[in-house]
Each structure stands twice: as structure tokens, then as C-alpha cells.
Structure 1
Amino acid sequence: MRDLGAGLRYLGQGQRWVLAHGRWFGFGLLPALITLVLYAAALTALGFYADDIAAWATPFADDWGSTGRALTRGVFAVMLWVGVLMLAVVTFAAVTLLIGEPFYEKLSERVEQSEGGLPEGTVDQPLWRELWTALCDSVFVLFRTLLLTIPLFFLGFVPLIGQTVVPVLGVCVSGFFLTLELASVALQRRGVPVRERLAMLRQRKALALGFGVPLVLAFLVPLLAVPLMPGAVAGATLLVRDLVGARPAPGAAPGGPAPYGGPQPAYGMPGQPAPPYGQPPAPPGYGPTGRA
């Protein structure tokens, strides 16, 4: 429960950060607005052709009575639209981050600087390589999302479960992968590969869900995704600093266990810096060179 609350607080802190830095908030609106227009056009087109797609996908219902045929194809059309909508929520962040890569990268860096500075060993790549890496990572995230959303789509036809449990699971899946997509900005800076990012968030599922699920629900409200996107990037950056141990989780007890990949309680001599991400600390009493 503490991680759930921490995720929600990071989301709120990110929104407050961009509101306090209005210039960054204003620049962050344009990429999200462009993406919203593209997605709105695609979803509108799907709404117009959903019945035709349902008829094409259910040829077995051609010989049924009019009531059964209409009910089956109506449910299929609704589930198709809802499934694509949930997928759009997850990919909205990915497409927006690709369109606004230079801005959101600088926004995330500025948040880290305001919270104590950039991490040591920051990976600095040319823009084209950052875009290519972000595209490959987004395809990976989309593939993993589809592995879960496609079965949920067909489970949606199961009476009762499809109208109660499945929508809740769908929002949770979308929230988890939305957090992964947004956190990738700060984790890519640290040189963490996408598979390891996924493993990190799996160990802190409650943190990821506490951040991502409210954001998914907010993104379902028309036009709300645009003003929330800059703050979502800022909040995900704060979440990453918790995830790798750069700052304690909100409400965490002092001296508690370090998060995944975070610093250990002691690194040796006083003032000795923490080792780079993923490397073990030096034995107590030893300096950075390995000598006392």
C-alpha cells in the first residue's frame, strides 16, 4: 500500500513541478496536442468502420437470427473499440515522447537537477540514436502489452467476467506499461536497457500501478492527456530516482532497505561516492581504488 501511495504522490509532484515552471509546461503541450489529433482521427475512423470490421470478423453469425447476430457483432465492435482505446492510452505516451524527444529529455534533466543533480555516468547520445533507441524500446513495450491485452480482449466476451474483471485488469496492464514508457526517459539516460527496466518495475509493481493507473483513467477523459503529459514525464523522473535509490520513497522509514539498484547503507570511508548503477559497493574501509 505504501508503494501505491508513493506512485500516486510522484504523479502529483510531477504535475506541481511543471506548474511551478510554466515555461516547461507550455513547451510540453505541443507534442501531446499533435499526438492527440492523430489519435482522435484514428479512433473516429475506427468508430465509423467498427460495424463493418465486426461483420468481417464474425462470418459464423451470418445465418443467425437478427437479434443474436446484432448482439454478437455489437459486443465485438464495442470490445474492439475499447481494446484499441486502451492500447492508444499506452502508445500515446510513446508517440508523444518520440515527437517531443528533445524537449522531454531536457525536461527530465531539469527535474533531476532540481532534485540533487544528474546521476553519475549519464549516457549522452546523438539525437538520432536516442530516437532510434526510443523507437525500438517502444516496439518492445508494445509487443509485451499486446501479449496481455489480446487475451483480455477475448476474455471480454465471457459473461459477467468480461464486463467486470477484464476492464479492471485492462486498466492495470495499461497503467503498468504506461509507467514503463514514461520512466524510460530517465532510465535510458542511465544506460538501463529496456528489459532491465521491465524487471525493475516488476519488482515494484505497486509503485508502477500507483503512478500509471490514475494516469490511464485521466487519459481516458477527452483532451485531459495533453495538459497532463509534461507533468507525467516530470513525475516519472521522480519515480525513477526512487526506483534506483537516488532518493527515498515518500513515507519510507529512514535507514530502510535500499530499492532495487539503489545504494547500500555503507560504501566505505566517509564521503566516498556511491558506485555506478548496477555495480557492487567497495568493501568497508576501502577507497575508490580498492586500497585502504
Structure 2
Amino acid sequence: MFALNGNPTSGPASLSLGLKLILHPELRLFILVPMIINVVLFFVVTAWLLSEFGLLMDGMMSYLPGWLSFLGSILWLFAAFLVIFVYGYSFSIITNLIAAPFNGILAEKIEEKLTGIAPPAEPLQQMIPRTLLRELLKLWYFISRGFLVLLLMFALAFIPLVNLLAPVIGVLWGAWCMSIQYVDYASDNHKTPFKSLRQQLGSQTLGSYSFGGLVMLGNMVPVLNIFVMPIAVAGATVFWLKDIQGKPLDPSRLLKP
């Protein structure tokens, strides 16, 4: 997961082309449903989080002795950063779990637009349960491995100087998860085993980190995170085709109506 290979500019370039692709008239229909899901979840999750964050900070500050009141601002900033990080990570996981079948179809249509060849056809009644099970498999991977990463970060936090690596590890893990989450749609359309997908991304880690890092950053920004999912699906499909599968793509041809 931490080997350095691939092209670090692949992630930004793929997302840039993905943004152009989702504006294509033939693809707008497949973006509508995931966007509606994102809008509804955005208002529900954000409203709940703002309410709970206020209660959490009030509770924490009540336990802080008066002579340590100067730490209040530092504690608030630290808690805010942690909540925003968890918010961006959780928002992406929840929306993708619900919108998985629609994202799979969007990735399929984008691949057909990019290459002129659609992935193998699959009946909708088979695709929906299969993609949902795939999302649960990814979710288990994120939770089980993420728990180990959290333990490592916790252990490093008690070692002077070395503890500076803890947030770096957290960011790398989040970026890795975002790459897996979105690149998997194009990969799964070809029935690629989940382990094989991780190995493929491991062969392009710099591109995977840059792609996932930008997606994670976008998910941390309220309102912007509503639009991140379709752009990320399109960009991940570009990344999978061009950088992992090695297929040549010509944007001047692909973006024509």
C-alpha cells in the first residue's frame, strides 16, 4: 500500500477529464439519481453533525479546569478538524453504499463513451444485489483495516517526533480508501476480484494517492461534497482505463456530443 510507483499527476488529470465527462448530454441522466441522494443525505447528515458537535464541545469544555481555559481554542480546533475528517470520510461511504448500482451504471456508460465498447451486459436484477454485496465487502475492508490503522496512529501518538507521522498515515489511508471506493465501479463492471483491484491500485500508488486525496478533500467541504461523487466515478473510470488497463484515450474525440 505504501510503495511509491506510478504517476502522481494521473489523479488530478483523471478528475479533470471526469468533470468534463459528467457534463456530457448523454450522461446527465445517470447522474441525476446519485445527485438527489447526495443532496438529501447532505442536509440530514450536516444538520445532525452540527447539532451533535455543539453538544460535544459544551460537554468537553465543562470538564476543563478554569486554569486550563487557554487550551479551549486549541481543543476546539483539534475537535473541528477531527469531525471534518470523519464527516468527509463517512459521507462518502454512506452515499456510495446507497448509490452503488447507479454509480456502476454511470461507470459503464462512461467506459462506453471513452472506448466505444461497453462492459459485458448484466441484467439489472443481478447487478443490483451484486453491487450492494460488493459495497459491503469494501465497507468491511475499510472498517477492519481502518481499525488497525487507528491502533497504529494511537501507538505513534505517544512517541515524541514520531507522532508527527500519525496524521500522515491517516491521510494516506483515507486517500487509499477513496481510490478503492471509486475505481472499483469500473473494475467491478468487469467482475475483477476485490483483491486484484487492490493489487492493480498498488501498482499505481502515486496516482491512487493523488486521486483519492483530492476526492477525500472534496468530501470534507460542505456543499462541494454533493457534487464530488459523480465526478469521482467518472474520474476513477478514466484512471482505471488509462493508467491501470493502459488503454489510450483521446479527450478531443471522447468529449464530443
Matched residue, 1:113: 112
Q: After superposition, give the CA deviation of every residue in 1:159-206 in whole Å (9 maximum; x if it has no partner).
A: 8876x7554543332122111111121222222233332232222110
Q: Equivalent residue for 1:8?
A: 12
Asked whether 1:86 is paired with 2:90, we answer: no
- CA positional deviation for 1:230: 0.8
Query: In the TM superposition, what is the alpha-carbon distance from 1:213 to its structure 2 partner?
Result: 1.3
Counterpart Cα distance in 1 of 2:199 and 2:70: 44
Q: CA shift at 1:8, angstroms?
A: 0.9
What are the within-5 Å matches in structure 2 for residues 42-81 of structure 1?
42-51=48-57, 54=60, 66-68=66-68, 71=71, 78-81=77-80
- The residue type equivalent to 1:104 in the other structure is N
Change (3 A) 1:52 1:38: same
Unaligned runs of 5+ in 1: 57-61, 251-292
Counterpart for residue 30 of structure 2? 24
Deviates more, 1:89-98 or 1:77-86: 77-86
Aligned partner of residue 100 in structure 1, secondary structure: helix
SS of the aligned residue for 1:115 comes to helix
C-alpha separation in 2, matches of 1:183 and 1:139: 17
Partner of 2:97: 98
The aligned runs of 1:157-172 (5 Å cut-off) are: 166-172=166-172
The Cα shift of 1:67 comes to: 3.0
Q: Identity across aligned pairs (percent)?
A: 21
Residues 98 and 131, structure 1, Cα contact 8 Å, conserved in 2: yes
The one-letter amino acid of 2:17's match is Q
Q: Please give the TM-score of this superposition, normalised by the length of structure 1.
A: 0.68
- The match for 1:194 is 194
Cα pair distance change 1:130/1:219, threshold 3 Å: closer
Q: Give the letter for the 1:32 counterpart.
A: N
Question: Which consecutive residues of structure 2, in runs of 5 or more, have no partner in the other structure?
Answer: 251-257
Task: Report if the CA contact (8 A) 1:141-1:181 is conserved.
Answer: no
Q: Which residue of 2 aligns with 1:242?
A: 242
Letter of the structure 1 residue corresponding to residue 11 of structure 2? G
| Greater helix share, structure number | 2
Offset, 1:10: 0.4
Deviation at 1:74, TM superposition (A): 6.7
Q: Is the Cα contact below 8 Å between 1:123 and 1:190 reproduced in 2?
A: no
What code does the residue aligned with 2:180 have?
Answer: L
Displacement of 1:224 after TM fit?
Answer: 0.2
Is the contact made by 2:6 and 2:205 (CA closer than 8 Å) also made in structure 1? no
Partner secondary structure for residue 135 of structure 1: helix
| TM superposition shift of 1:216 | 1.9
TM-score, length-normalised on structure 2? 0.76
**One-letter amino acid of the counterpart of residue 200, structure 2:** M
Structure 1 residues 118 and 177: alpha-carbon distance in aligned structure 2, compared to 1, 3 A threshold: same
Mapped to 2, the partners of 1:68 and 1:151 lie a distance apart of 29
Match of 2:39 in 1: 33
Q: 2 CA distance for matches of 1:161 and 1:84?
A: 23
Q: Partner residue of 1:175? A: 175
Q: Larger relative contact order (C-alpha < 8 A, sep ≥ 6)?
A: 2
1:59 corresponds to: none
Q: Counterpart of 1:9 in structure 2: which amino acid?
A: A
1:81, distance to aligned residue in structure 2 (A): 4.5
Aligned in 2, Cα 1:88/1:139: closer, same or farther, shift over 3 Å?
farther
- Letter of the structure 1 residue corresponding to residue 108 of structure 2: E
Largest Rg, 1 or 2: 1
What does 1:247-262 align with in structure 2 at a 5 Å threshold? 247-248=247-248
Count of matched residue pairs? 242
The Cα of 1:148 is off from its aligned counterpart by: 2.1
Say what the alpha-carbon RMSD is for the aligned residues. Answer: 3.5
The AA in structure 2 aligned to 1:245 is Q
Amino acid at match of 1:107: L
